[in-house]
A = this chain, B = another copy of it.
């Protein structure tokens, strides 16, 4: 890890804690593969946004949910919700009334995933301008190089 020489000590500490939290999965390579499969499933744009909305709002009906998650089509909302339900992240309660009323909320598992993702959200919020500057710099260089 000599490559990390020019990071701050705080950053290195975080990296170490990061690395040390992973090993258990590496004992059996199949486990690692399964974890990656699971990550791939869950690290989906819509999954993350639905997860975030439900974690913030608590419990929502289908249409209400679609209003919070801007830009999602009803097809993707349904599809993603079904997958999340299958994975045990979400519970769907159907009230037998007309017009139908269906409410979605996170399970304990889903809630824990939500708080696990929290760090990513905070990172995004904190480093938004940082990323934008990096992009402008990169695009500027690319143009100059052509």
Question: Chain A residues in contact with chain B, CB under 8 A?
Answer: 1-4, 7-8, 11, 14-15, 17-19, 21-22, 24-25, 31, 33-36, 38-40, 42-45, 48-49, 52, 55-56, 58-59, 70, 85-88, 105, 108-109, 111-125, 127-128, 130-131, 133-135, 137-139
Copies of this chain per assembly: 2
**Residues of chain B with a CB closer than 8 A to A3's CB:** 58-59, 105
A11→B55 CA distance, assembly (Å)? 11
**Residues of chain B with a CB closer than 8 A to A122's CB:** 21-22, 116
Tell me the minimal C-beta distance from A6 to chain B in angstroms. 9
A-B contact pairs, 18 of them (CB 8 A): A2-B58, A3-B59, A4-B58, A11-B112, A14-B112, A15-B55, A15-B114, A21-B122, A22-B122, A33-B70, A35-B128, A36-B49, A38-B131, A39-B121, A42-B120, A43-B44, A117-B120, A119-B119
